[in-house]
Each structure stands twice: as C-alpha cells, then as structure tokens.
Amino acid sequence: MTLATAVQTLEDTERLFEVVDFQPWPEQAEIIYCDARYIIVTGGEQGGKSLTTSKLFLKRWPEDMATRWDGDRALLYWLVGSDYANTEEEFNYIRDDFVQIFGVGAVRASKRVDPGYIEITMPDENKPRIRVETKSAKDPRRLARTAPNGIMACEASQLDITSFHRIDGRTAPRRGWMVLSGTLEGSMGWYPSVAEAWKNDRGERRGFELPSWVNRSLYPGGRNDPEILRMEQDKPDEFFMERIAGKRVPPAGLVHGEFRPDIHVQELEYVVGEPVTIWTDPGYSGAYACEVSQEINGQIHVFDEIYQTGLITSEIIDIAKQRPWYRDFSNHVIDVAGWQHQAMAAPAEIWLSETGVYPTSQKVMIPEGIERLKSFLKVNPTNNLPKIVFSPKCEGILSEFGARTCPLPEYIGQDRPYRWKTDREGNIVGTTPEDKFNHGIKAVTYGIVDRYGFSTSKNRNKIPVRRFGRR
C-alpha cells in the first residue's frame, strides 16, 4: 500500500486493520475510535494495552497526515517509557504494521530501542514522512527536544509525576495528542487519580479500563472465563480489581481526595521580583516543611519546597538562603507552636533573628483548616482553574496529597498520605485525621488562612504583624 492510499483510508480505518490482520475487540474499539485528544487506559495484566496503543496510533497517523503534514517535515511521534525497555512492545507492533502496509523497502527501523526509531520514506522521495522515536524518562533532556505530533506513554503508571507533566507540555506546540496506558501499581499516586478523573471527563480527556479478560486469546470465555473466575475467588479483592479488572480501588480515608495531579500540579518557575512567601510547619514529630509560594495573576504558585527530617531551624534557614528566590523573600507564616519556647530558642525566633522577616501566626482548628484548603483546591467553573497549584518539585506535600510516594529517607517508595482514621474495613472513624504525614499541608493551610482568612468569620487570636528590615 502506498502512503497516498493509506491516507485515503481515513474514512475507512477498517481497511488498514485488514492489511495488518487486526480485528479489535469491542473494548479495544471503544478506545481506538475515541477522538479525544488525551486518553488514559488502566489495564489488567495481559489485557492488550500495548497492542491497543499501537492500533490507536495506526488509526490516528493518517488523520495527522491529512491535516497536519506540511509537505516537508516528517510527522513525529514518541514512545515514552520510564526506561527504554518499556517501549519495546509498542515499537515492535508499529514497525511490523508499517512493514505490512508499506513494504519492507519503505521502512527503516533501528534494531534496538535504547534509543530507537522507525521511519517511513516513499521510494520517490528523499525525506521521511513519518518518524517514531523511543524516549526514556530517565533522560529528561530527550523529552525537551522538538515537539511531537503524538505521544504514546508505555507502562505510564511507572512514570513519575514530573515526567507526566513534561510530556504533557510537549504536546502543546503542535497541538499533539497523547495516550497513556499502564497497569495500576496500586491505587495511590498520580496515575490512578488522573485515570479516575479522566474517566468522568467528556471533553478532550477520556479514561478507559481494559481488563485482562478482554484478551480473548488468553481468556476465551471473557469475563466468565474459568481462569478469571478462579482468580476472582482466590486473589484478594484489591489485587483482582487493580491487576485483573484494571479498576482503581479508591484509597480509604484520604483527607484531600479532591486533589488532582493533572490540575493541581504544574510546571512552575520562580518569578524574579515578585514577593516570595514561606509557609512553615516545623514538624517536631515529622518533616520540617517550608512551602515556598508567590501569587501570580491571582493564583497561588507553590513553586519550591524544603522538606527535611533531622535538621534544626538554622540548617533549614541555611538551605533557604542558598535558593535563588531568597532575595525576594519578604513574608513568612509559621505554625503558632513555632513561637513556643523549647529547651532553646523557638523556631519562629530563630527565623526572625537570622532572616529579619517576622513570622506571623494564628491558631487554626483542624476542621476549619481542612475546609479552607479544600476551597482553594476547588476549580473555578468560570476559568477552569484552582486557586492554588504546586510544582512537581514539591515532592513532600505531593506525597501528603497522595500524588506520589514519600520522599523521606525512612519511607522511600512508600505511600504515606494524609488520612482520616479508619477501621479495618476502611470506614472513617472520628472527626479528625491522623496527625502525621501532613506537615506540608498544614504549612499551606496556615499560609492560606493568614493571607485570605477563613471561609467564614472565626475568632483568630492572631499574633500582631510586625516587619523588620532584612539583616
């Protein structure tokens, strides 16, 4: 088949599928024929995620050729994985499909995927019309090059939140599309929460589930295949739902379950010359959290963070003084307990002495503080923006929201979000959350209340504000 013939099949994708001998299962067809710009798929083990992704690409590139090709520069596509090995299945499917469609003479492909490429060049042309490249998230520099027309994230649940936002940003210059597919690695972190949110979206974003029993070659009986029923009986419910059914099991007791990494996490930079505020919770029994923010165009940007254990206040201040934004540091809010004297000077006094910026404080009751932060996480329906967003660099507070694993040395790789107290069945018990893994969230809450007040009038018992010149 020539490229011109392939483009003509835009109105009849089935002809392309016939050439490559592919007949989609109904669950696959729903994904492949979806025209949303952004698609996320949570799949069960051996559910055909890689095959589905490759065939979605097979359906989409003729559309891009008809509407986006400029007659000169090749259409560019990326296969992105947490490492190159995770791109191999999709790479092989796409290469083999192209050979069947165009013939071996038109297809030039690398033997390896670390990195790898596939190019389609017509016999009477010197330049390729299509190029597919593999990318590894371990080398972020490769994710900052020429923007592609489409991105396929392979085993996307293994990507970190920073990589997700980086590839999402690369779709913007060419108004490219993106499909992410992966097996749920537990129901915490950015991938399950984004998948759940996109599943309820009917705009540019769509979420799908691709359970293991969709693969009729492995499970001829589908959902009622004897092997599927055996696993449902023998495996824990959470394992079956996540690893076989491809469904998220909502984590029990998240205090801020409304936090969405695709909305509340953005690539943010320090804006030179704009006032910088530090919100601090000294975290006597956990992390010493300093959330660093600026208000830009009416939205709070938490663009940096100091999140440490085992350091005293003076050492935290030393870290702050090394950051570029320290020159614009002019406001500080601290937990009211930061003024209480311990065996030595209170943290607030040390901050004042060593920075010359007076830390303001007021008592914030837990229920009121939770509701106030929720009000800032809520998306404004008029502009589709929340009042506060966070940089991917703020790993500590993102782990408290449940958007990534904990960065503290003793909990590396573990989920440690801010939770309500629950019983063995996962039912919420009591009216206050567990007072741990929440120091970044508490710091931000103190800052919001100090700057914007409570949602309703409260008795504030506020310490008077005094400003001192910088020393």
Strands across the sheet containing 150-153: 107-109, 117-120, 130-136, 75-81, 150-153, 177-183, 38-43, 205-210
Kindly tell me if the per-residue pLDDT of 195 is higher than 80.
yes
Choose between 341 and 418: higher pLDDT: 418
Closest CA to 349 of 264, 468, 241: 468
Residue whose pair of structure tokens reads 């090749």 in the numeric block: 74
- One DSSP character per residue, 321-361 reads HHSGGGGGEEEEEE-GGGGS--SS--HHHHHHHHH--PEE-
Kindly tell me if the per-residue pLDDT of 199 is higher than 70.
yes
Kindly tell me if the per-residue pLDDT of 68 is higher than 90.
no
State the pLDDT at residue 448.
97
Q: How confident is the model at residue 236 (pLDDT cuts 50, 70, 90)?
A: confident
Closest CA to 160 of 441, 399, 377, 397: 399
Choose between 462 and 202: higher pLDDT: 202
Least confident of 119-123, 338-342, 406-410: 338-342
Kindly tell me if the per-residue pLDDT of 186 is higher than 80.
no
Residue whose pair of structure tokens reads 């996320």 in the numeric block: 40
And the tokens for 226? 């004897």
Residue whose pair of structure tokens reads 């959350």 in the numeric block: 433
State the pLDDT at residue 46.
86
Backbone angle region of 320, left / alpha / beta, with phi > 0 → left and psi within -120 to 50 → alpha: alpha
Q: Do 193 and 261 meet the contact criterion of CB atoms below 8 Å apart? A: yes
And the tokens for 416? 């440690």
Exposed/middle/buried for residue 297 (C-beta within 10 Å: 0-12, 13-18, 19+): exposed
Helices (H) and strands (E) in the chain, counts: 15, 18
Closest CA to 61 of 6, 116, 23, 11: 6
DSSP state of 166: H
Does the CA dihedral 302-259-428-400 come out positive or negative? Answer: negative
Domains in the chain, please, with CATH?
3-250 (3.40.50.300), 262-452 (3.30.420.280)
- The set of residues, in sequence order, having a beta carbon less than 8 Å from that of 296 and lying 6+ positions away, is 271, 274
Distance CA 179, CA 198 (A): 12
Q: Is the peptide bond before 115 cis (omega within 30 degrees of 0)?
A: yes
State the pLDDT at residue 238.
79
Q: Hey, is 65 helix, strand or coil? A: helix
Distance CA 465, CA 451 (A): 12
State the pLDDT at residue 459.
44
Distance CA 461, CA 362 (A): 6
- State pLDDT tens for residues 41-63: 988 888 889 999 999 999 999 98
Kindly tell me if the per-residue pLDDT of 4 is higher than 70.
no
Kindly tell me if the per-residue pLDDT of 321 is higher than 90.
yes
The upper half-sphere exposure of residue 272, i.e. CA atoms within 13 Å in the direction of its Cβ, equals 1
Q: Mutual orientation of helices 88-102 and 49-67 as an angle, nearest 10°?
A: 50
Distance CA 471, CA 466 (A): 15
Kindly tell me if the per-residue pLDDT of 78 is higher than 80.
yes
Taking residues 132-151, report their average pLDDT. Answer: 85
Distance CA 128, CA 119 (A): 6
Distance CA 4, CA 356 (A): 70
Taking residues 190-213, report their average pLDDT. Answer: 86
Most confident range (mean pLDDT) of 155-159, 199-203, 272-276 is: 272-276
- State pLDDT tens for residues 375-392: 999 998 888 899 999 999
State the pLDDT at residue 381.
84
3-state DSSP of 91-127: HHHHHHHHHHHHCHHHEEECCCCCCCEEEECCCCCCC
Q: Which amino acid is at 21?
A: D
Closest CA to 31 of 62, 64, 59: 59
- One DSSP character per residue, 141-162 reads GGGGSSPPSEEEETTGGGS-HH
Q: Which amino acid is at 74?
A: A
State the pLDDT at residue 264.
93
Q: Do 191 and 75 meet the contact criterion of CB atoms below 8 Å apart? A: no
Most confident range (mean pLDDT) of 1-10, 88-97, 406-415 is: 88-97
Q: How confident is the model at residue 432 (pLDDT cuts 50, 70, 90)?
A: confident
Q: Hey, is 75 helix, strand or coil? A: strand
3-state DSSP of 12-56: CHHHHHHHCCCCCCHHHHHHHCCCCCEEEEEECCCCCHHHHHHHH
